[in-house]
Structure 1
Amino acid sequence: MFSNLSAGALGLSLDHTQAIDLAAKHGFGGVDPDLAYLRGLGSKAAIAEHAASVQERGLSWGISNVPVALTAPAEEFRASLDGLPETLGLLSAAGVTRVGTWVRPMHDDLSYRRNWVLHVSRLHLVADLLADAGLRLGLEYIGPKTFWSTERFAFIHSIGEALELIADVGKPNIGLILDSYHWYTAGESAIDLVGLTDADIVSVDINDARDDRQRDEQQDLDRRLPGSTGVIDLAGFMDAVRAAGYSGPVKVEPFMKSLAELPVDEVLADVSSRLDRAINGPAA
């Protein structure tokens, strides 16, 4: 696995070329692709040349968002599918292999079962398009009770449910986005990660939680940098990720507005160091 710079996940306003330069400067192993930047290059040949230059800097691609809303109205969903092949062609030309989205953990109108059926049918379609482009899809479950309990019907908000959904879809290019914050807020432990393999995990996020809130009081968009409070058993989480033989990107996604107020180099040096310690163990 490798440390990945996702500037947006850190709340930093960096353009794509800045992100690449800073990722290389601070020892990250990868950087997220930027769809808008790739589209602006104008041709697949230019995209491939850009991707080669990124690789020459010692960087791998992280993960891109997939622009499809799984619970959108039918007409909107069909329209997003119509535009998806063009987007996937750009990512494929760049050599990107991972895209992701999150599963909305509640719904005001759809019962659990009806929502399940909707997700299975739509994920079938999306996964087939992604497979044609050589892409894997990561699904991220959302753990905080303060979020999934806010609408009439709760939906998937645990690793067990997410794995069941993936199994029901039955497409080999769908896996998990594992986030230590959602793992913690879902009340899970390292035992819940036993048996996972590299094929099951598309991307990994690591974060910590506030130490002045109980688990069920934690807010989705109010996290802490990994290792800051020790509320989350990050060592146990990462031991399980290593045991799975995971080989992909690991990023930090704390939703801390205060980071944007600090010098960028200071933030990235700190984040890079935290990622290295998490990936390689306490002695790193």
Structure 2
Amino acid sequence: MTDFKRLSLNQITTDLWNLREALDGCARAGIPQIAIWRHKVAEGGLAEAKRLVRDAGIRVSSLCRGGMFPAATASERQARLDDNRRAVEEAAELGTDTLVLVCGPAPDRDIATARRWVAEGIEQLLPFAKSRGVKLAIEPLHPMYAAERSVVVTLDQANTMAEAYATDEVGVIVDVFHVWWDPELYKQIQRASGRILGFHVSDWIVPTPHMLMGRGMMGDGVIEIRRIREAVEAAGYAGPIEVEIFNQAIWDRPGDDVLAQIKARYMEHV
């Protein structure tokens, strides 16, 4: 990259910072955007989060996360739908039009039914999201997360779900950590043209130190990040590029140092 106009700090990358600290860090580092996590909003409440964002002058690129639709009983599924409506409200209040959906695992061994519940959850949530000007962004996760976090594990699956709706209603997230391995990746990115609502970067470390907490800083692993970035741009995406890293060693470092490294690696590898 040649500048930082599209750079966004996904808040999980500096997880020890609260929302105020993350916004202040972005301002000091000249990072113009932030992707906010709901548990960070809950710490001080939505009204306070909205005030902090407004005062910081930092754009919110997305809110993470909605989804988690499958559940064992109808009442549990309704409760999750209600929570997704609250997530939509939070996104709208914070000034972003993108709610990232981590769709959820099966509550038992019936993965096909769980996928149907995901599709039904999106269908039920969409009218409310449209009424608040919020788009639903389906994020396929790496297949190793199927049992714990999402039964949507390929960009092909996410595209198929999104294509049931208009391009300005439901789209997909391309997270390099989750999709880099897919032999159909570039075909599916092209297929997603006009529907890509977010692009997330990190790296896949070898050997992989931990299933959840093993993401690396860009350039420390094996992912062809720049090639994937160029592909999503060829598919029409020109939006924020979020740096999203789950890694305890990175979390434990001073946040300002992490942001400085993010900027350097962003220029070199993204």
Contact 2:172–2:192 under 8 Å retained in 1: no
The structural deviation recorded for 1:40 is 4.9
Q: Partners of 1:158 and 1:165 in 2: how far apart?
A: 11
> Is 2:68–2:103's contact at 8 Å kept on the other side of the alignment?
no
1:161 lines up with 2:157 in the alignment: yes
Residue equivalent to 1:177:
173
2:210 equivalent to 1:207: no
| Alpha-carbon offset, residue 206 of structure 1 | 0.9
Describe the shift of the 1:94–1:16 C-alpha distance in structure 2 as closer, same or farther (beyond 3 A): same
Contact 1:156 1:162 in 2 (8 A): yes
State the one-letter code of the partner of 1:30. Answer: Q
Mapping 1:238-257, distance limit 5 Å: 238-257=229-248
Where in structure 2 are the equivalents of 1:138-153 lying within 5 Å? Answer: 138-144=137-143, 146-148=144-146
Which runs of 4 or more aligned residues in structure 1 lie more than 6 Å from their structure 2 counterparts after TM superposition? none
Corresponding residue for 2:79?
Answer: 79
Contact 1:12 1:259 in 2 (8 A): no
Amino acid at match of 1:236: R
Work out whether residues 7 and 13 of structure 1, in 8 Å CA contact, stay in contact via their aligned partners in 2.
Answer: no
For residue 75 of structure 1, give the secondary structure of its aligned residue in structure 2. Answer: helix
Q: Within 5 Å, give how 1:6-45 maps onto structure 2.
A: 6-8=10-12, 10-33=13-36, 34-36=40-42, 39-41=45-47
- Structure (1 or 2) with the larger CA radius of gyration: 1
Gaps of 5+ in 1: 280-284
Provide Cα deviations, 1:71-106, integer angstroms capped at 9, x if missing partner.
123212213434555553443233221111213466
Q: What's the Cα RMSD here?
A: 3.0
The CA deviation at 1:111 is 4.2
**Corresponding residue number in structure 1 for 2:129:** 130
Query: CA offsets, 1:47-86, max 9 Å, x none?
Result: 4x6544333xxx3112112445211232122134345555
In 1, distance between residues paired with 2:25 and 2:205? 28
Q: CA deviation at 1:162?
A: 1.3
What count of residue pairs does the alignment treat as equivalent? Answer: 261
Distance in 1 (CA, whole Å) between partners of 2:186 and 2:53 is 36
How far apart in 2 are the matches of 1:124 and 1:166?
10
Partner of 1:282: none
Q: Identity rate of aligned residues, in percent?
A: 19
In structure 2, list runs of 5 or more residues that go unmatched: none
Q: Match for residue 102 of structure 2?
A: 102
